[in-house]
Amino acid sequence: MMDDETRFLIAQEVADTKNNHDAKHLFRMAREIAEKKPTKLVTDGLPAYREAFLKEYWTREMPRVVHESHITLKGDRNNNMMERLNGEIRDREKVMRGLKINDTPILTGYQIFHNYIRPHMSLEGKTPSEVAGIKIGDNKWITLIQNASKKKQKRFNSKSTDPKT
C-alpha cells in the first residue's frame, strides 16, 4: 500500500498465492499506520482487493473512499507506481532468499530504504519521507540506526521489571 503523492510505502505483506489471498489484513494495517482511510484506493482487478475494500473501507457515510479497480496502463486510472515497486522487489528477490517467509525482515528493510534513503527521480531527488515532511537528518543511515537502537533499548527496558536482568 503506497501513498500516491509522496510515494511513501505504508504497508506490505507476502501473499502465498494471488488467487486465495486475503487482503483485509493489509488494508487494516495500512489504515492503522496512516491513522485514516484513503480518499481513493487504486488496485488491479484482483477479487481479494474488492473484498478487502468492502470489509475495511466501505461505508454508507459520506465522503466515501473511492475504489478504482478498472485500471489502464495510461491516464490517471493506473497502478504503475505500485507495479514499479513490485518490479524492484522482484529484482531484489531473484538474488536473495527468504522473501516468501511471512515475517521476513527483507520487506521491512526495503520499506525503510524506499521511504527514507532512496531518492526518487519522480520526486525531484527527494525521498518519500522528505516529501511527506519527515526530516531525519543529513546522514540518514546513522539517524535510522540510532533511532532503531533507541527504540530497541526502550522495548528491552519496558519488558524487564527486575533491574538485575
Take residue 90 and report the three cell numbers written for it: 522482484
The span from the CA of 48 to the CA of 26, in Å, is: 11
Block mean pLDDT (10 aa), the chain, length 165: 92 79 92 93 88 92 89 74 82 72 78 92 94 90 86 58 47
Q: How far is CA 66 from the centre of its chain?
A: 19
Q: Tell me how crowded residue 149 is: count the other CB atoms within 10 A of its CB.
A: 10
Distance CA 121, CA 164 (A): 51
pLDDT (0 to 100) of residue 163: 47
pLDDT at 55: 93
According to the model, what pLDDT value does residue 109 have? 86
